[in-house]
Structure 1
Amino acid sequence: MNARAERGGAGPLVVGVDGSEPSLRAVDWASDEAVLRGVALRVVYACLWDRYEGGAVARDIGRPTALPLPQDIVDAAAERARARHPDLRVTTDVVLEEPEYALVREGRKASALVVGTRGRGGLAELLLGSVSLAVAAHADCPVIVLRGSHDNQATPPVHGRIVVGVGEDPKEPAAVRFAADEARRRGVTLEAVRAWRCPAHETTDHPLLVGEPDRLHEERAAEELETALRDVPADIEVRRRTVEGHARRVLLDASHRADLLIVGARRKEGHLGLQLGRVAHGLLHHSACPVAVVPHREGDA
């Protein structure tokens, strides 16, 4: 159990900013999400330098004749959030630390983290920035990465659909529970997707799968989907889909018709590497819509 669960109640929604125009647009999305959740918004700028070291500065940030100070960046983000939602409680912080470490630490007290796709200073170190990737791989709370058409804000919904990918272990409830809550907040359909494949070595000569290997694999996928959805409240509209194919390809296709794509990521105690899995890693690089990575630790209920 994490610190915010022990305290009771929800922590703030944290959004990481870096002074770029995309990061300020991420503040719009995060502001909408905070209002939906009924929580405060916390704006964080983290960097090892006491002056801006990035690329192009967003137009909303002042000091036109000089590089902005870190406080200028968070002040501009907070002003933008308050202009969008005047009643939203907004706090800011400047942390002189590597952003991936600072944001992961912020996640210990947050209801969720929101980050953009770009690396520190706006440089595309990978298809997904290294900071966003590290945060999604290590944070204790859900991390929403604003991929793809992230200008489609949290409200109003564009596609009217939240998509959650159900993995091989349907007894892990964290991602489905998060997806159900997001669908309820927005008043949209929850689409649960279970990809399945028939292994190449399973032919009609297999003693347990004589004649119908595909059908049996699809039936098993449907059963796993029902197990994963067993605790979704009845007032949420749920669409169930079992699709033959690689999970990454199936979910990438679904991302073109979703306002938010949600996947789980298992966390292992003491493991220092990226804790995402191949499917989540691929979605963070290529999804057409924002992606939420929801951590699950063994033993969590």
Structure 2
Amino acid sequence: MGSRYVVGVDGSSPADAALAWAVRHARRDGAGLALVHVADPEQAMHDLALLDEAEAAGERLLSGAAREIRSAHPGLEVSTELLSGVPVWTIAERAGAGDTVVVGTGKTGYVSGRVLGSRSVQFALAARGDVAVVPVFDPRFREGVVAGVDRTETAAFIGARAAREAAERGMRLTLVHAVPAELAHGSRADAESPLALAADAALAVEGMLEIRSRLSARPPADALLDASRGSALLVVGPGAATPSPLGTTLHAVLLNANAPVLVVRP
């Protein structure tokens, strides 16, 4: 089985935004599109009729969405699956390490204690592969790809992945690295700094790519959210040195996403 974009379908505006994003990227990459609806049995644990009704509604959502997509994009491979369980963990379990899970989020904003994006954090924890977190937005008015570069071990990987995304869109790439103010001068001059390593890897992917490197003395989440406001995509790594838990910066970014966020794993 090749790589797929796996997206939950539930009829909500955030889910619709995630689905539209997944369709565009599956077409771009020649990948499959897997539509999943999860009926949560706990919501109808005392009434089997309610569960049957929820599953029937899910089937209608899936078939309707698949029919519209196949009609608009005949060459796109579309599959549907109705599952039962806790939605986040069930969808993450069905997605392979080479798949990208796409999830919508109803929150757009800045770091101010907002919590309604917590589902995206759960997906980023649970999924084995990449996760795209998509707010409700109009892609026509977005420009540029931003990448968060945190440490030398992952800098080249992040730079290369972000460069591919920028090149596919024909957009510039902005690399962002947050450091304490007293370390900024040394980081600018260091050819082995995370920013330099990321830029070198990006140029190796696309030599004609316009690349901007930005050092910031602000807290990392603030720096990334500020840089990505109005951008087409923010590319970040898991953040922590181990796969789980997520780094605190990524946690804050996902809770307050103001642009599509692609969490990539080496």
In which range does the TM-score fall when normalised by the shorter chain?
0.7 to 0.9
Contact 2:99-2:129 within 8 A present in 1 as well? yes
- Once the two structures are superposed, the pairs formed by residues 24-103 of structure 1 within 5 Å of their partners are 24-49=16-41, 69-103=57-91
Counterpart of 1:284 in structure 2 is 254
Contact 1:195-1:221 within 8 A present in 2 as well? no
Counterpart of 2:176 in structure 1 is 193
Which SS does the other structure have where 1:151 is aligned?
A: coil
The offset of 1:218, in angstroms, is 4.3
1:254 aligned to which of 227, 239, 247: 227
Higher mean displacement: 181-190 or 42-51: 42-51
How far apart, CA to CA, are the structure 1 residues paired with 2:128 and 2:238? 10
Contact 1:12-1:42 within 8 A present in 2 as well? yes
Higher mean displacement: 182-191 or 215-224: 215-224
The offset of 1:222, in angstroms, is 8.2
Instruction: Name stretches of at least 5 consecutive residues in structure 1 with no aligned partner.
Output: 5-9, 54-65, 120-124, 200-212, 297-301
Contact 2:35-2:78 within 8 A present in 1 as well? yes
The offset of 1:84, in angstroms, is 3.9
Structure label with greater radius of gyration: 1
- Once the two structures are superposed, the pairs formed by residues 74-223 of structure 1 within 5 Å of their partners are 74-108=62-96, 110-117=98-105, 126-130=115-119, 132-147=120-135, 150-153=136-139, 158-198=141-181, 214-220=184-190, 223=193
Contact 1:50-1:69 within 8 A present in 2 as well? no
- Once the two structures are superposed, the pairs formed by residues 228-247 of structure 1 within 5 Å of their partners are 228-232=198-202, 233=205, 234-247=207-220
Tell me the TM-score normalised to structure 1 length.
0.72
| C-alpha spacing 1:224/1:21, structure 2 compared with 1 (3 Å) | closer
Contact 1:24-1:77 within 8 A present in 2 as well? no
Which SS does the other structure have where 2:105 is aligned?
A: coil
How far apart, CA to CA, are the structure 2 residues paired with 1:219 and 1:268? 25
Which SS does the other structure have where 2:227 is aligned?
A: helix
Are 1:17 and 2:9 an aligned pair? yes
Which SS does the other structure have where 1:227 is aligned?
A: helix
The offset of 1:79, in angstroms, is 2.7
Q: Deviations over 1:104-145 (max 9, x none)?
A: 2233154311111259xxxxx932143x32111231211001
Seq. identity, %: 28
How far apart, CA to CA, are the structure 1 residues paired with 2:23 and 2:230? 23
The offset of 1:224, in angstroms, is 2.3
Contact 1:14-1:41 within 8 A present in 2 as well? yes
Q: Deviations over 1:261-283 (max 9, x none)?
A: 111005777x7xx5221111111
Instruction: Name stretches of at least 5 consecutive residues in structure 2 with no aligned partner.
Output: 46-52, 108-113
How far apart, CA to CA, are the structure 1 residues paired with 2:126 and 2:259? 21
How far apart, CA to CA, are the structure 2 residues paired with 1:217 and 1:230? 15
The offset of 1:223, in angstroms, is 3.1
Contact 1:31-1:84 within 8 A present in 2 as well? no
Amino acid of the structure 2 residue aligned with 1:257: G
How far apart, CA to CA, are the structure 1 residues paired with 2:184 and 2:84? 55
How far apart, CA to CA, are the structure 2 residues paired with 1:77 and 1:114? 15
How far apart, CA to CA, are the structure 2 residues paired with 1:188 and 1:111? 24
How far apart, CA to CA, are the structure 1 residues paired with 2:222 and 2:195? 18
Which structure has the highest helix share of the two?
A: 2
Counterpart of 2:197 in structure 1 is 227
Amino acid of the structure 2 residue aligned with 1:102: T
Contact 2:14-2:134 within 8 A present in 1 as well? no
The offset of 1:83, in angstroms, is 4.2
Q: Deviations over 1:41-69 (max 9, x none)?
A: 1101123339999xxxxxxxxxxxx8652
How far apart, CA to CA, are the structure 1 residues paired with 2:14 and 2:72? 16
The offset of 1:248, in angstroms, is 0.8
Contact 2:190-2:196 within 8 A present in 1 as well? no
